[in-house]
């Protein structure tokens, strides 16, 4: 006995396909924005124990149980993207070169590890691709752009040439013009605007306010904000004001004390950036 195919079967098939696609999209969204306070990001790698912004520091961060790593990136004179925090190389190499005025080859001649300890002697400055290739499957790669918006087209080109389907990406910058450029040129990658706080001597209030932060986030197209973890400023009321003003996503930096990490976890920070991922990572177990 043959079974007749319902006349509306194509519509059923389309419905099932659409339902599947929606499920995939939702899965990706939740993968990109992990649960409250559960993402521990190693600041410049495991920088308390290893020389910051080196492959050794990033590899150690994963060994210590990090969910993600954060690195700082500049554009060199020959348009290469390299991982280093300072504008100059003197602090981490003992030799002064301005990063943006140097070529990759010139920067590679320097040694970036022994300032931390002799056992790290021989570490070289990593390129963006070097760091990207060190990220394990399902790891979060937080990319802080230190150069201004001029770096964005080169970052976009590199990301297109690399396979980012197995990791998660977040771009961060203190420069709202750079964040806006990322939103325009790399819209598929989330970005956070970064801010610290300063106290107004006349009013005694800290700036920027939650409302001012939300306005910048909206103006530059950011997905959220990364804030210096100042407990004098950030409390439940501040977070409520932030969300009421339209900014629903935030992370904090640089948190190296367990009580501070637990505090920001309780406020709903999706990410906590730390120099000590092995220590701060224990809040995930405490929070269960």
The pLDDT score that the predictor gives to residue 9 is 46
Are the C-beta atoms of 100 and 73 separated by less than 8 Å? no
Are the C-beta atoms of 154 and 127 separated by less than 8 Å? no
What does the pLDDT average to over 98-127? 98
pLDDT digits (tens, 9 = 90+) for 191-220: 999 999 999 999 999 999 999 999 999 999
Q: 0.75 cut: is pTM over it?
A: yes
In a domain, 183, yes or no: yes
Q: Which residue has the tokens 């500049």?
A: 74
The pLDDT score that the predictor gives to residue 1 is 39
pLDDT digits (tens, 9 = 90+) for 1-17: 343 444 444 444 554 44
pLDDT at 288 over 90: no
CATH classification of the domain holding 179: 3.20.20.190
* Total domains, the chain: 1
What does the pLDDT average to over 101-108? 98
Give the span between the Cα atoms of 192 and 147, in whole angstroms. Answer: 16
In a domain, 213, yes or no: yes
Q: Is the dihedral of CA 250, 137, 126, 151 positive or negative?
A: negative
pLDDT digits (tens, 9 = 90+) for 257-284: 999 999 999 999 999 999 999 999 999 8
Are the C-beta atoms of 239 and 263 separated by less than 8 Å? no
The pLDDT score that the predictor gives to residue 38 is 77
The pLDDT confidence band at residue 166, using thresholds 50, 70 and 90, is very high
In a domain, 136, yes or no: yes
CB atoms within 10 A of CB 62: 19
286 burial (CB, 10 Å; 0-12 / 13-18 / 19+) is exposed
Domain of residue 232 covers: 34-286
Are the C-beta atoms of 250 and 36 separated by less than 8 Å? no
pLDDT digits (tens, 9 = 90+) for 168-184: 999 999 999 999 999 99
In a domain, 8, yes or no: no
In a domain, 13, yes or no: no
Q: Which residue has the tokens 């590199």?
A: 158
pLDDT at 34 over 60: no
Q: What percent of the chain has pLDDT over 70?
A: 86
The pLDDT confidence band at residue 21, using thresholds 50, 70 and 90, is very low
Give the span between the Cα atoms of 31 and 12, in whole angstroms. Answer: 29
In a domain, 225, yes or no: yes
3-state secondary structure 86-108: CCECHHHHCCCCEHHHCCHHHHH
In a domain, 118, yes or no: yes
The pLDDT score that the predictor gives to residue 286 is 62
The pLDDT score that the predictor gives to residue 285 is 64
In a domain, 11, yes or no: no
The strand ranges marked E within the chain are 39-43, 68-75, 81-83, 140-145, 168-173, 190-195, 198-199, 206-207, 224-228, 250-253, 271-274
């Amino acid at each position: 006995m043959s079974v007749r195919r319902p006349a509306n079967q194509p519509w059923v098939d389309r419905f099932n396909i659409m339902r599947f696609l929606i499920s995939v999209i939702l899965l990706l969204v939740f993968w990109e924005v992990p649960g409250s306070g559960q993402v521990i990001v190693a600041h410049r790698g495991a920088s308390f124990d290893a020389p910051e912004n080196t492959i050794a520091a990033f590899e150690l961060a994963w060994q210590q149980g990090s969910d993600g790593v954060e690195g700082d990136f500049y554009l060199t004179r020959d348009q290469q993207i390299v991982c280093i925090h300072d504008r100059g190389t003197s602090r981490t190499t003992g030799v002064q070169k301005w990063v943006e005025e140097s070529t990759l080859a010139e920067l590679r001649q320097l040694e970036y590890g022994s300032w931390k300890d002799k056992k790290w002697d021989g570490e070289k400055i990593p390129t963006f691709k070097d760091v990207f290739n060190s990220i394990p499957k399902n790891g979060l790669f937080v990319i802080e752009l230190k150069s201004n918006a001029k770096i964005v087209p080169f970052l976009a080109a590199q990301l297109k040439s690399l396979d980012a389907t197995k990791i998660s990406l977040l771009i961060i910058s203190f420069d709202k013009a750079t964040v806006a450029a990322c939103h325009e040129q790399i819209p598929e990658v989330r970005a956070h605007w970064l801010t610290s706080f300063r106290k107004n001597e006349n009013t005694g209030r800290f700036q920027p306010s939650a409302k001012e932060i939300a306005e910048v986030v909206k103006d530059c197209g950011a997905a959220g904000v990364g804030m210096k973890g100042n407990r004098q400023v950030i409390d439940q009321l501040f977070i409520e004001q932030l969300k009421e003003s339209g900014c629903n996503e935030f992370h904090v930096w640089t948190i190296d004390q367990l009580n501070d990490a637990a505090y920001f976890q309780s406020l709903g920070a999706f990410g906590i950036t730390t120099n000590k991922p092995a220590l701060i990572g224990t809040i995930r177990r405490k929070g269960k």
